[in-house]
Amino acid sequence: MFDPLQAFPAKAARYYLDHTLKGHINNDTGPELIQSAITGWIKFVLPFTPSRYLELSPFDEVLTIVATFMAVMVLDLDQITMKQQDVSSLTSIRSAMPPLWPSLWIWVQTLHKTKRITRALPNSLKAKANAESHVRHMSICDCLLYFIQNEAEILPIAGKFREDVMTLAATIWIEEAEDKESICGFRAVSLLRPELLPAPRISLDILNHIIAACGGKTEAVLKMLYSRIKNNIKHLKLDLSSLQDDFAFVLHHTKNSFTFPAGSNILRRPFLADAKVSIPLLADMMSLLRQSKAEAFADNTERLEIMQSPLFLILEIVCSPHEYQGMSALLTTRFFHLMAWMTPHVPGSTTLVTHTIFASFLQKVGLRFAAHRELFVAMRRNIREAFPKNKMPNGPIADSVKEFREQLSQWTEMNRDYHSGRLDVKVICGNPHTLSSQEIHGALFTEPVGLSGPNLRLLAHAIARDAVSVVRSSSRPTAQQSDMPLIMLNYDDETGMRVKGGIVELQKALPGYPAVWVPYYWMPPGTMSLVSVLACLARGTMENPRESSQALAALLMVTRVNLGSPLERSIYCVKWIYCQ
């Protein structure tokens, strides 16, 4: 049976490393360095490679020797080609490496197995072993990256190892995320090739293996990603390159606008659908970056540049078909506080970009959702706390926030009226009936959102208030369908305009839709007026008209009481009928 401690020529291999290979390293001889490592591998390692991986002591010298040879053998040939024009040497290297892959793979597995054994060591031995584990982990990552970069050349000889490579790549990415001490660093993100767009097939396969290893739960993958970034940021000497790669990886697999072309939708869908999970995690990432004392962030330039990655992701999620859920999640974080700090500090031309993005968010997203009472209250609180009037930040952001406050003023006044009871409004039923996937005015709508009790009560108040002038200037409608009046109210509007026209003929406004109100026109004549109302409420992204708005049908009943007396007043009842 193979026993590396007795059979492996450790002394001769060490001499070769210290004298021959080190000489090439010192002289920066490029292809000759790799060729020397290949020669050493064939002479000292290949003949003593077992048929399967071993479980060795973390302190075994064999592992250090093997890891050193591996790290040099898999150096990036393309980078060396830029410096050395020895075409014949490069051709020789490219042809020599694929046959060695089976032996490389055995030792990659052995190094990984030993790294796991290190975790079980007592603390007195772990410090020394951890230092070796870090170096060996780098060799594992370099070797896997070599396979991924040269898959086409290696597959004819080592094709059966492809699945094993993807599984191990996914495993060490997860191990790095779970390692709170960050002993081995965060190099595994390089295996996902975040620098390439579109992502190569093998990168997507590794990502699928990561998801499978997390039980198929993409939410778990998001939390793993957060753990990787969190564990990296907390170090004074953080791995800036891996941090940038982690953010680049998620940007490439989720964004389809701004400065990044579309990537795969493997992560895009869960990021958007799980807004309650992804947005708080991304906001926390921004907070961690803001608070980090890492040396790389000493002048804030790198800090602010990287903070824009989670910022873009947050806005991508908010401006999606799940916009309501995104806004709801965002307003529970310190996002506005972070923008108040971030925007004035962003250097150079990026200042205008960041401010423009935030200003557009306030105008095109914030105002659209002001009709949802819960979101309106949270928005107003966030603006008040993050941008106090006596401590406004410098620059154009102050003008954008001031304009946003002014545009919210109508809803601020509406909210005061709602709480003061100056308008007597009663909601007859708590929730409108819903029917999904119906076509109204050529738009196919999905499930309604934001129809909680507080939101519906404020909306009922808004409908009654906005309809007052229309009702007062019209005669009481009759029960004849052709005479049914309809007030069109648009609360999904970034300009602040709510009433779009006055009373219109129902049949002409919405052909085939009057039947929704017909069953309710049985009230006897008298002091009661009935008005059909159709209110449009924000649901999702403005870019997708099929999912941007939801239509709520209601019946407004206005009753005059105490006629002819000083106590004469109107009582408004809003009955929710239908929602699309």
Per-residue pLDDT for the chain (580 aa), expressed as one digit of tens each? 445 556 889 999 999 998 888 766 666 567 888 888 999 999 999 999 998 888 888 888 999 999 999 999 998 766 654 454 566 677 788 888 888 999 999 999 999 998 878 877 777 777 777 788 888 999 999 999 998 888 888 777 766 778 999 999 999 999 999 988 888 889 999 999 888 877 788 888 998 999 999 988 878 888 898 999 999 998 888 999 999 999 988 887 776 544 445 556 676 666 666 788 889 999 999 999 999 999 889 888 888 889 988 998 888 888 777 788 889 999 999 999 999 888 776 655 556 677 788 888 888 888 888 888 899 999 999 999 999 988 887 777 888 898 899 888 888 888 888 887 666 666 665 455 544 333 333 333 345 677 777 788 888 888 877 766 555 555 544 444 445 567 777 888 666 555 554 555 555 555 445 555 655 555 555 556 777 787 888 877 655 555 677 877 788 777 777 777 877 777 778 777 767 6
| pLDDT at residue 369, rounded to an integer | 87
Residue 485: inside a domain, yes or no?
yes
Residue 573: inside a domain, yes or no?
yes
Structure tokens, 35: 């060729």
Query: Which phi-psi region, left, alpha or beta, contains residue 559 (left: φ > 0; alpha: ψ -120 to 50)?
Result: beta
Tell me how far apart the alpha carbons of residues 169 and 163 are, in angstroms, rounded to a whole number: 10
Residue 559: inside a domain, yes or no?
yes
Q: Give the chain's end-to-end CA distance (angstroms, integer).
A: 73
Task: Report whether 220 contacts 281 (CB < 8 A).
Answer: no
Tell me how far apart the alpha carbons of residues 117 and 110 are, in angstroms, rounded to a whole number: 11
Single-letter residue type at 258: F
Tell me how far apart the alpha carbons of residues 36 and 34 are, in angstroms, rounded to a whole number: 5
Over 472-518, what HEC string results?
A: HCCCCCCCCHHHCEEEEEECCCCCCCCEEEEEEEHHHHCCCCHHHCH
| pLDDT at residue 324, rounded to an integer | 83
Residue 454: inside a domain, yes or no?
yes
Helical residues (DSSP H) of 387-499, grouped into ranges? 396-420, 453-472
Angle, CA 329 vertex, CA 326 and CA 333 arms, to 5°: 130
Tell me how far apart the alpha carbons of residues 19 and 315 are, in angstroms, rounded to a whole number: 56
| pLDDT at residue 444, rounded to an integer | 33
Paired residues of 549 in beta bridges: 538
Tell me how far apart the alpha carbons of residues 313 and 310 are, in angstroms, rounded to a whole number: 5
| pLDDT at residue 319, rounded to an integer | 79
Q: Which of 534, 526, 536, 535 is nearest to 559 (CA)?
A: 526
Task: Report whether 231 contacts 239 (CB < 8 A).
Answer: no
| pLDDT at residue 345, rounded to an integer | 66
Single-letter residue type at 164: D
Boundary of a domain, candidates 89, 123, 149: 149
Number of domains the chain is built from? 2
| pLDDT at residue 49, rounded to an integer | 92
Boundary of a domain, candidates 129, 149, 169: 149
Tell me how far apart the alpha carbons of residues 278 and 222 are, in angstroms, rounded to a whole number: 7
Structure tokens, 157: 């000889």
Collapsing DSSP to helix, strand or coil, 193 comes out as: coil
Tell me how far apart the alpha carbons of residues 511 and 508 are, in angstroms, rounded to a whole number: 6
| Helix 373-386 / helix 396-420 crossing angle, nearest 10 deg | 130
Name residues whose C-beta falls within 8 Å of residue 505's C-beta, 6 or more positions apart in sequence.
482, 484, 485, 486
Q: What is Dmax (Cα atoms) for the chain?
A: 113
CB atoms within 10 A of CB 238: 22
Task: Report whether 75 contacts 28 (CB < 8 A).
Answer: no
Residue 263: inside a domain, yes or no?
no
pTM tops 0.95, yes or no:
no
For residue 78, the enclosing domain spans 1-149
* Cα within 13 Å of Cα(426), Cβ side: 8
Residue 271: inside a domain, yes or no?
no
Helix-strand-coil split of the chain, %, nearest 5:
60, 10, 30
H helix or E strand, kind and range, residue 103: helix 87-118
Tell me how far apart the alpha carbons of residues 506 and 551 are, in angstroms, rounded to a whole number: 15
Tell me how far apart the alpha carbons of residues 298 and 85 are, in angstroms, rounded to a whole number: 40
Boundary of a domain, candidates 116, 149, 182: 149
Strand 485-490 relative to strand 443-444, pairing: unpaired
Tell me how far apart the alpha carbons of residues 368 and 319 are, in angstroms, rounded to a whole number: 11
Residue 482: inside a domain, yes or no?
yes
